[in-house]
Chain A
Amino acid sequence: MPVPVLETKDLTIRFGGLTAVMDLNIHLDEGELVGLIGPNGAGKTTVFNMLTGVYKPSAGTISFCGELLCSAEHSVPPSQISIKGIARTFQNIRLFKELSVLDNVKIAYHQHVKYGLATSFFHIGKYAAEEKEIEKKAIDLLQLFGLENKKNEQAKNLPYGEQRRLEIARALATRPKLLLLDEPAAGMNPQETQNLMELIRFIREEFDLTILLIEHDMSLVMGVCERIYVLDYGRVIAQGSPAEIRTNPKVIEAYLGSEGIA
């Protein structure tokens, strides 16, 4: 059996008296596109925050490509996790708003820069060649996302949908193995959502990615994911293919309890 890209064992986190996530056991095999759904406050974003080192779990372990990434005893800073190959987007877009679209992507390339600090002081040696390469790669990436003609605009001036796409582009610039998308379609109209679905499928092939996707938009999750985990009150209440999830009584109940399944 191949080693899963991501595996969590009994992952739990408590905030004071509140157990936001309880005994979470999920796994993603290489190249899979998996959905993580659940009603508001179910703990989805909290799972992402644990996977990226923002929160330290109270119990349980996270393994990445067969290697122990972090646990309650052993926490790793987010920057280290990014370097290991996990990238994410944020539910409430966290671009570098005042900076240009191009700089947003270039910053994410920083972890791959080979020239040293001394070179940066004098701009000698391989500086020029490497900066040129960074620029080219960033523009290539923006091209894939249809943003290259906006490369000099401030990120905050992009329309909402484009900001979401830029955030994905920025995450890809870190060259991840695993991409975590937190409600990438939030605030998009149906046409934009449709395009986004195609884009997500496309980048998975193009960049050999494994993707874990949080989504409220059921049509997106059902249309694009191969497997789905359903979280409610911090626990996995169901898992399986979209067809299985759609007819699972527990899921229907959880969603009817909040806003109803789309």
Chain B
Amino acid sequence: MKKSTIINLIFVLAIGIALHLLRKAGFINGYYDHILTKICMFIIAAVSLNLINGICGQFSLGHAGFMAVGAYIAAIFTKNPGLIIPEAIAGMPRFFVALIIGGLMAAFVGFLVGLPTLRLRGDYLAITTLGFGEIIRVLLLNWKFVGGASGYFGIKPYANFLSVYVLAVITVFIIQNFITSSYGRACIAIREDEMAAETMGIHTTKYKIIAFVLAAFFAGIAGGIYAHLMQAIMPRDFSFLVSVDILLMVVLGGLGSTSGSIMAAIFLTLVTESLRRFQSLRVIIYSLMLIFIMIFRPQGLLGGQELSVSMLKEKIKLLFGRIKPEKGYASTNGTE
């Protein structure tokens, strides 16, 4: 591991511990606790979608579908003690095992969806994943075992802030490591020029599928967390609009930037929560926001750059040093 990675990790740990202590001391009440957990869940969803849409340059609209798979599968396992996972594994350990099974199931479905589609160039993936999301929803509506349209209830609230925070950190760690590795460079090459990447010996279909399946896995994990946070899930919780919300996070943060996705996930979750009482307004504000991004900062907040502790240090040095800071730099305080 590089030194900068370790510094970032320490920074992230410090934030986690600080938030945890604030909760313990009673400064963060149940409602904010819920929102913090939700933020972490959306971070997992956004960072994984960024892997497909931002890094690999493929346009997927199916994240809600993968989240639905993860949510229902994980919930089935925590609600039915003794189902496949031995009964001895109960409580939190059962939750984690259920999450992983949900993630693996989502990854498997991702593989089935990606295999025929990712061979093709162009917009086929957007269309297929859009259809896939709807198919999953219709299947769930008609699956009596998980309650059909009325929903699946009585899921235990295993998803607390601390556990989900740790899961988010692990997710970001793994995905960011992948992106900076040679495999990640291969994915970026596909985004930049598919034909040139192929000619350089990169099996483009294979790497697109790897990225897609990896993203589907983490979307499944996010879905599992959602189920155990809300304690009840319905097929309409995973509508196309949820995929769009997550896509908006990725675009707002800057396609290809993990830290951008994280910041946008935090920001948009807060906006959504504060507008909870004005549902119809939310749609308008989101649309306006999207239009403003496209006009004023089409590359997103970070424009594909990564924010890190060392980079913040550089910027601060620049700010107080002799050199004048660059004008128009998006001033944001990140958590990566």
- The chain A residues found within 8 Å of chain B, CB to CB, are 52, 54, 77-80, 82-83, 87-88, 90, 94-99, 103, 106-111, 113, 115, 117, 119-123, 127-128, 131, 134, 170-171, 173-174
The answer to whether A107 and B185 touch across the interface, beta carbons within 8 angstroms, is yes
- Return 22 A-B CB contacts under 8 Å, by A number: A52-B199, A79-B199, A79-B202, A80-B203, A82-B199, A82-B200, A87-B199, A94-B196, A96-B189, A96-B192, A96-B193, A97-B193, A98-B192, A99-B192, A110-B202, A113-B182, A117-B183, A120-B184, A122-B174, A127-B181, A134-B182, A171-B200
The answer to whether A95 and B196 touch across the interface, beta carbons within 8 angstroms, is yes
CB distance from A50 to the nearest CB of B (A): 13
Q: Which of B171-209 contact A (CB under 8 A)?
A: 174, 177-178, 181-186, 188-189, 192-193, 195-204
The answer to whether A174 and B5 touch across the interface, beta carbons within 8 angstroms, is no
The answer to whether B200 and A108 touch across the interface, beta carbons within 8 angstroms, is yes
A120 to B197, CA, bound (A): 19
The answer to whether B178 and A121 touch across the interface, beta carbons within 8 angstroms, is yes
Interface membership of B1, Cβ < 8 A: yes
Interface centre among B181, B195, B199 (most CB of A within 10 A): B199
Interface membership of B210, Cβ < 8 A: yes
Interface centre among B2, B196, B198 (most CB of A within 10 A): B196
A98 to B198, CA, bound (A): 17
How many residue pairs link A and B with beta carbons under 8 A? The number is 102
Interface centre among A110, A134, A174 (most CB of B within 10 A): A110
The 4 nearest A-B residue pairs measured at CB: A120-B181, A82-B201, A111-B201, A96-B192
Q: Which residue of B lies closest to A173 (CB)?
A: B200
CB < 8 Å: which of B174, B200, B202, B204 contacts A121?
B174
Contacts of B202 in A (CB 8 A): 79, 107, 110-111
CB distance from A97 to the nearest CB of B (A): 7
The answer to whether A78 and B177 touch across the interface, beta carbons within 8 angstroms, is no
Contacts of A83 in B (CB 8 A): 201
Given contacts A83-B201, A107-B200, contact A123 B195 (CB under 8 A): no
CB distance from A7 to the nearest CB of B (A): 21
CB distance from B189 to the nearest CB of A (A): 5
Contacts of B192 in A (CB 8 A): 96-99
Given contacts A96-B189, A98-B192, A117-B210, contact A123 B1 (CB under 8 A): yes
CB < 8 Å: which of B1, B178, B196, B200 contacts A120?
B178
The answer to whether B183 and A120 touch across the interface, beta carbons within 8 angstroms, is yes
CB distance from A215 to the nearest CB of B (A): 20
A111 to B185, CA, bound (A): 11
A148 to B1, CA, bound (A): 25
The answer to whether B182 and A120 touch across the interface, beta carbons within 8 angstroms, is yes
A79 to B199, CA, bound (A): 5
Contacts of B201 in A (CB 8 A): 79, 82-83, 108, 110-111, 174
Q: Which residue of A lies closest to B192 (CB)?
A: A96
A142 to B223, CA, bound (A): 46
Contacts of A99 in B (CB 8 A): 188-189, 192
CB < 8 Å: which of B182, B183, B184, B199 contacts A88?
B199
Contacts of A98 in B (CB 8 A): 192
The answer to whether B199 and A122 touch across the interface, beta carbons within 8 angstroms, is no
A87 to B189, CA, bound (A): 16
A262 to B186, CA, bound (A): 42
Given contacts A108-B201, A123-B5, A174-B201, contact A96 B196 (CB under 8 A): yes
Contacts of B182 in A (CB 8 A): 106, 109-110, 113, 115, 120, 131, 134
A52 to B201, CA, bound (A): 11
A90 to B195, CA, bound (A): 11
The answer to whether A79 and B203 touch across the interface, beta carbons within 8 angstroms, is yes
A96 to B184, CA, bound (A): 14
Given contacts A98-B192, A120-B184, A121-B178, contact A77 B198 (CB under 8 A): yes
Q: Which residue of B lies closest to A107 (CB)?
A: B189
CB distance from A245 to the nearest CB of B (A): 29
A46 to B201, CA, bound (A): 20
CB distance from A47 to the nearest CB of B (A): 15
A120 to B174, CA, bound (A): 8
A166 to B159, CA, bound (A): 51
Contacts of B185 in A (CB 8 A): 103, 106-107, 110
A162 to B294, CA, bound (A): 34
Q: Which residue of B lies closest to A90 (CB)?
A: B196
Contacts of B203 in A (CB 8 A): 77, 79-80
A110-B185, A173-B200 given. 4 additional CB < 8 A pairs? A78-B199, A79-B201, A110-B183, A111-B200
Contacts of A87 in B (CB 8 A): 199-200
CB distance from B47 to the nearest CB of A (A): 14
The answer to whether B193 and A94 touch across the interface, beta carbons within 8 angstroms, is yes
